[in-house]
Chain A
């Protein structure tokens, strides 16, 4: 099958852009229906900005044990697994820290309320107030009985893993139920399943998922698993006179100060790729050794555009562009 026979659908979800590719045009409609159903369920489970979400209920429970759905329990388990596999670098209890930095509402509103060109804060705009991260071990999840409690004042934010987890889940469901090859991209977190098109899925790796297929970066193909990119250049805003971003270093409760502006990782699943790319941003220089030791192919871009690769990631055919 050639790329020309791949059918595409693009839509908005989770405040970002989703792209759905399938290798059988007739499967596109049913695939979209499956994706819509799953993504709606994930959003209802773990949106931080919906008053009716399970996550909002849990965060408001003040440490009490709360019953949860199997889906929400799986999402929390995925987040805790990411924390465990990264020695706590990817921590789901960064909710309070994000609120402290002003990310307490839908990002479009946060951005709109950030100081304008004058640098003066807008009324109701974000202010920076450091908030400690309770730590992922404060989350007491019992999947057998579907109960969870947040200790030590922890507030969950599943933004680091939920989107990637949802991409994996959608891709698996679509491939299993419709028998076609599928790629699901949720804001640049990419999962593929089923038989790929000839030559694999072509992915443009760049800083911003919304930049388009010709943006500065590198094109690679994948045939299995997932590919995710984390960056300090996207989802940024100004709080307390400083530019901040959404990747929180649990050690400080502040936006991570990284050696890398952007890290892309390929892994056996999208959630694993995203776990590794987020951890790499937080780990800084130590990330290359950690990724290499784990056999994870990665492309790490420094603020000046210098590219470092690990574990078989192909060499760039063009230089990355520096970001000011």
Chain B
């Protein structure tokens, strides 16, 4: 009688451990998938903010890579008001 009770208890314990294990795995996989989705979403967002497609879309007036250099003679084109 006592031995039967122990077998039942052991079986229930093992069954519970298996369920917890499955749940843990599923939660782990779900976490990894969520992390991947968040990484893609925010990674894209960060990249978009760091390198605007056009300088004219930046949140500041964008300075040139280098200032104008001096030159002699006339220009190929004229910058003046119109």
A positions within 8 Å CB-CB of B: 3, 6, 8, 16-17, 19, 21, 78, 81, 85, 163, 165, 168, 172, 183, 185-190, 199-215, 217-231, 233-235, 262, 264, 266-269, 271-272, 275-276, 294-297, 311-315, 317
Query: What are 15 A-B contacts with C-beta separation under 8 Å?
Result: A17-B82, A78-B56, A185-B77, A190-B77, A199-B71, A200-B69, A204-B79, A209-B80, A219-B70, A222-B68, A223-B65, A229-B81, A235-B82, A295-B63, A314-B68
Chain A residues with CB under 8 Å of B59's CB are 85
Binary flags per residue of B60-82, CB closer than 8 Å to A gives 1, else 0: 11111111111111111111111
What is the chain B residue whose CB lies nearest that of A208? B80
With A78-B56, A172-B54, A221-B69 as contacts: A272 and B62 at CB distance below 8 Å: yes
- Alpha-carbon separation in the docked complex, A266 to B77 (Å): 15
With A202-B75, A213-B75 as contacts: A221 and B68 at CB distance below 8 Å: yes
Shortest Cβ distance from B48 into chain A, in angstroms?
Answer: 15
Are A204 and B61 touching (Cβ within 8 A)? no
Pick the most buried of A163, A203, A228: most chain B CB atoms within 10 A of its CB: A203
Are A85 and B61 touching (Cβ within 8 A)? yes
With A221-B71, A224-B66, A314-B69 as contacts: A203 and B61 at CB distance below 8 Å: no
Chain B residues with CB under 8 Å of A183's CB are 76-77
Chain B residues with CB under 8 Å of A223's CB are 65-66
Chief secondary structure at chain B's binding surface: loop
What is the chain A residue whose CB lies nearest that of B73? A219
- Alpha-carbon separation in the docked complex, A207 to B81 (Å): 6
Q: What total of A-B pairs shows CB separation below 8 Å?
A: 186
Shortest Cβ distance from B57 into chain A, in angstroms?
Answer: 8
Are B82 and A210 touching (Cβ within 8 A)? yes
Chain A residues with CB under 8 Å of B72's CB are 219, 317
- What would 12 more interface pairs be, CB under 8 Å, given A222-B64, A268-B63? A201-B77, A210-B82, A219-B71, A221-B70, A223-B65, A225-B64, A226-B64, A268-B55, A268-B65, A294-B60, A314-B69, A314-B70
B positions within 8 Å CB-CB of A: 54-82
**The residue from A186, A212, A311 contacting B78, defined by CB atoms under 8 A apart:** A212
With A297-B64, A317-B72 as contacts: A168 and B56 at CB distance below 8 Å: yes
**The residue from A204, A262, A267 contacting B81, defined by CB atoms under 8 A apart:** A262
With A85-B60, A267-B61 as contacts: A209 and B81 at CB distance below 8 Å: yes
Are B60 and A165 touching (Cβ within 8 A)? no
Are B79 and A206 touching (Cβ within 8 A)? yes
Shortest Cβ distance from B73 into chain A, in angstroms?
Answer: 6
Are B81 and A231 touching (Cβ within 8 A)? yes
Are B78 and A269 touching (Cβ within 8 A)? no
**The residue from B55, B57, B75, B80 contacting A207, defined by CB atoms under 8 A apart:** B80
- Alpha-carbon separation in the docked complex, A253 to B9 (Å): 88
Chain A residues with CB under 8 Å of B76's CB are 3, 6, 8, 21, 183, 201-203, 213
With A269-B56, A272-B55 as contacts: A188 and B74 at CB distance below 8 Å: no
- Please provide the 4 A-B residue pairs with the shortest distance between their CB atoms, ordered closest to farther: A187-B82, A268-B62, A204-B75, A231-B81
Chain A residues with CB under 8 Å of B77's CB are 19, 21, 183, 185, 190, 201-204, 213
Are B78 and A188 touching (Cβ within 8 A)? yes
